[in-house]
């Protein structure tokens, strides 16, 4: 039994082929990503080699250029692709995507709604997890971001993924149009103000379903948790963050690296209760001032949003083959 070509599974096995993306690593650890073309060459200021020298070779091959420099040749992992792909919006880092897939228990065949697609980084991890038999409905309010995400996802999977449906608009307006109420297994939100969509998410999730929100700041984290509690249809929210520190490995010189991937975002999760159930009263006494009055209206700048220029968006759309259609 073979996998569907749309998922790219078969194409990621066996000898290197024309059209494959491969990652070249030189003796200093510098990486280059190229797409194999039988008529192309890979040039640096220190020599070149022909792509044809790699076609038909197995992964893990070492190719030597005209200057005697050796390159290790491997297909890029999903994490490699995410960190090097064209992007408009900031991407969800692999460390956070892995946490979301695991802690939300994204399983094969699951029906998942994702809102805030950005450049498609998290989308690819979710598609890997739900598999061909699952459903991933991605809702993005910006058409230009959606186009970039589509280009990146289809580049990685080698075409359209059978489980993916991409929708333009706001989650609150579109979710009832794309899924039946109470039928969604998991919802993942990557947006500035997830608390504005608590009611829409509660209506979409099946009892026991999981909501995971990815937020950048402590103020967003607090507001999301308090609104989930106030809604009354979710279990007690839990929150965490992860940090990754690499290690330098050279003989006996084994030590932590000087740089690390520290704070990228917070994750907050809660589960949908059955209709009509009143959650057990919390026994822990809240700290003084823990529940202030209604929050004033926050702007995108207040929430840490960094605007992306139209010029950059046009450039990235061209890079992923999703340039906007020209109008007369």
To the question of whether residue 70 is assigned a binding role by annotation, the answer is: no
Strand partners, 238: 269
Q: Mind listing the pLDDT tens digit of every residue in the chain (328 residues)?
A: 333 444 555 567 889 999 888 999 999 988 898 999 999 999 999 999 999 999 999 999 999 999 999 999 999 999 988 888 888 778 888 999 999 999 999 999 999 999 999 899 999 999 999 999 999 999 999 999 999 999 999 989 989 999 999 999 999 999 999 999 999 999 999 999 999 999 999 999 999 999 999 999 999 999 999 999 999 999 999 999 998 888 989 899 999 988 877 788 999 999 999 998 888 777 766 565 555 555 556 666 666 666 788 888 888 888 888 888 766 5
Query: How many CA atoms lie less than 13 Å away from 94 in the CB half-sphere?
Result: 11
To the question of whether residue 310 is assigned a binding role by annotation, the answer is: no
To the question of whether residue 122 is assigned a binding role by annotation, the answer is: yes
For residue 3, the model assigns a pLDDT of: 39
**What element of type H or E holds 98?**
helix 94-103
In words, the CATH class of domain 5-76 is alpha beta
**What kind of fold does domain 80-311 have according to CATH?**
Rossmann fold (3.40.50)
How far, in Å, CA of 233 to CA of 230, rounded?
A: 9
- Structure-block tokens of residue 186: 């998991």
For residue 207, the model assigns a pLDDT of: 97
How far, in Å, CA of 128 to CA of 123, rounded?
A: 9
Note the helical H segments in 171-259: 171-178, 198-204, 218-231
Closest to 115 measured CA to CA, from 219, 209, 201, 177? 201
Helix-helix angle 143-157:310-319, to 10 degrees:
20
List b or e across 281-315, with b for residues whose CB sees 16 or more CB atoms inside 10 angstroms: eeeeeeeeeeeeeeeeeeeeeebeeeebeeeebee
Strand partners, 210: 186, 271
To the question of whether residue 190 is assigned a binding role by annotation, the answer is: yes
Model's pTM, two decimal places?
0.80
Same fold, 5-76 and 80-311: no
- Structure-block tokens of residue 251: 């003989």
- Sheet bearing 21-25, strands edge to edge: 31-35, 21-25, 70-74, 61-64
For residue 304, the model assigns a pLDDT of: 62
To the question of whether residue 119 is assigned a binding role by annotation, the answer is: yes
For residue 290, the model assigns a pLDDT of: 59
Strand partners, 21: 35
To the question of whether residue 126 is assigned a binding role by annotation, the answer is: no
Closest to 202 measured CA to CA, from 213, 219, 187, 214? 187
Q: Where are the domains of the chain?
A: 5-76, 80-311
Phi and psi, residue 266, nearest 5°: -100, 150
For residue 38, the model assigns a pLDDT of: 92
Q: Say if strands 253-256 and 266-271 run parallel, antiparallel, or are unpaired.
A: unpaired
For residue 167, the model assigns a pLDDT of: 97
To the question of whether residue 170 is assigned a binding role by annotation, the answer is: yes
């Amino acid at each position: 039994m073979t996998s569907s070509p749309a998922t790219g599974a078969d194409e990621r096995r066996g000898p290197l082929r024309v059209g494959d993306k491969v990652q070249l690593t030189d003796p200093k650890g510098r990486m280059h990503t190229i797409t194999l073309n039988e008529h192309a060459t890979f040039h640096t200021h220190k020599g070149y080699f022909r792509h044809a020298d790699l076609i038909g070779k197995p992964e893990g091959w070492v190719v030597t250029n005209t200057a005697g420099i050796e390159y290790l040749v491997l297909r890029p992992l999903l994490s490699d692709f995410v960190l090097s792909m064209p992007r408009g919006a900031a991407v969800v880092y692999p460390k956070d995507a892995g946490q979301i897939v695991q802690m939300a228990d994204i399983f094969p065949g699951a029906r998942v709604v994702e809102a805030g697609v950005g450049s498609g980084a998290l989308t690819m991890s979710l598609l890997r997890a739900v598999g061909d038999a699952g459903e991933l409905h991605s809702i993005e309010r910006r058409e230009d971001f959606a186009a970039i995400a589509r280009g990146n996802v289809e580049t990685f999977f080698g075409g359209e993924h059978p489980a993916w449906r991409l929708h333009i608009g706001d989650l609150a307006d579109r979710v009832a149009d794309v899924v039946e109420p109470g039928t969604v297994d998991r919802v993942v939100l990557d947006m500035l103000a997830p608390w504005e969509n608590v009611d829409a998410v509660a209506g979409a999730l099946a009892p026991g379903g999981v909501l995971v929100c990815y937020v950048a700041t402590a103020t967003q984290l607090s507001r999301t948790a308090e609104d989930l509690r106030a809604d009354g249809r979710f279990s007690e929210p839990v929150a965490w963050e992860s940090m990754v520190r690499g290690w330098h490995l050279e003989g006996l010189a084994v030590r932590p690296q000087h740089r690390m991937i520290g704070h990228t975002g917070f994750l907050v999760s809660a589960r949908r209760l059955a209709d009509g159930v009143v959650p057990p009263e919390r026994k822990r006494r809240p700290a003084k001032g823990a529940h202030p009055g209604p929050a004033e209206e926050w702007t995108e700048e207040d929430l840490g949003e960094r605007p992306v220029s139209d010029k950059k968006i046009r450039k990235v759309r061209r890079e992923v083959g999703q340039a906007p259609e020209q109008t007369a």
